[in-house]
Chains A and B, each alone.
Chain A
Amino acid sequence: KAGVTQTPRYLIKTRGQQVTLSCSPISGHRSVSWYQQTPGQGLQFLFEYFSETQRNKGNFPGRFSGRQFSNSRSEMNVSTLELGDSALYLCASSLVGAWGYTFGSGTRLTVV
C-alpha cells in the first residue's frame, strides 16, 4: 500500500512569505502529526490531528498552523517565514490504537 506522501519534496521561499505543505496519510490512518527537524534542535513535535481536530500542539509560535480534512489529508502553514524556519518538515500517520507511526520522506524548506 502507498506510504505517507508529502508534497512538495523541496521548497525555497523568501523571508516574509508564507508556505503551505501537504501530507497524505496512509489510507485508513486518521491520526496525522507534523514534526520539524533542524540540525540544532533535532526532531520537534509541531501538532497532531485526528478526525479534523487538533489534539496536541508543540511549543511553536502561532505562525505555524495546520488543519486536517475529512479525508484525513493534512496541511500545515507557516506564515511570515523566518530564516530559522528552514528545516525538514515531516508528517507521520497512524491508526488509532496501532503501534508505531509511519513517516513520510518530508518537505525540505529553505528560507532565503
Chain B
Amino acid sequence: DAKTTQPPSMDCAEGRAANLPCNHSTISGNEYVYWYRQIHSQGPQYIIHGLKNNETNEMASLIITEDRKSSTLILPHATLRDTAVYYCIVRAPEGGGDDKIIFGKGTRLHILP
C-alpha cells in the first residue's frame, strides 16, 4: 500500500502558485520523498525529491516539515500545461534492492484559465 495521503483533487488559477500537500506520517529515516506527475495519456514524469531539506529545481520546490511527516510541492507559477495528476511517493534510495515505486491515487490538479 502507498505510504502517502494526498487530496484527490485541487484547483489553481493560472499564474498563481500551486501548493500540493502530502502526508507521510510513517516515513522511515532513510526514505526520501519523491514527486512525479502524469499528464493525460503519458507516462509519469519525475519532478523532484528530498530527504529533509527543502529542495528546488527548474520545475518546482519541495518543502518538507521538520518532523518529515508531511511535505508540500510548490509549482511557483502554474500554467495550463501543469494540469496533471501529481503523485507523492516515499521510498528508500534506489539501488537498495527494493527498486519499485508504490503509487497512491495522487492529486488531480486543475489549472484554471
Contact = CB atoms under 8 A, between A and B. Distances in A.
State the majority secondary structure of interface residues on A: strand
Given A4-B43, A43-B44, A96 B95 contact: yes
Nearest to B47: A100
Contact of B103 (A43, A50, A94, A99): A43
B10 interface: no
Interface residues of A, number: 27
Given A45-B101, A58-B100, A101 B46 contact: yes
A45 B43 contact: no
Given A31-B94, A97-B95, A100-B34, A90 B100 contact: no
Contacts of B97: 55
A31 B43 contact: no
B93 to A, nearest CB: 8
B49 interface: yes
Contact of B94 (A43, A96, A104): A96
A92 to B, nearest CB: 7
A48 B99 contact: yes
Taking residues whose C-beta sits less than 8 angstroms from the other chain, chain B's interface range is 20 to 34
Contact of B99 (A33, A35, A44, A102): A33
A5 to B, nearest CB: 11
B45 interface: yes
A66 interface: no
Nearest to B35: A100
A56 B105 CA distance: 22
Interface in A51-109: 55-56, 58, 90, 92, 94, 96-106
5 contacts: A48-B100, A94-B99, A96-B94, A98-B94, A105-B43
Interface of A: 4, 31, 33, 35, 42-45, 48, 50, 55-56, 58, 90, 92, 94, 96-106
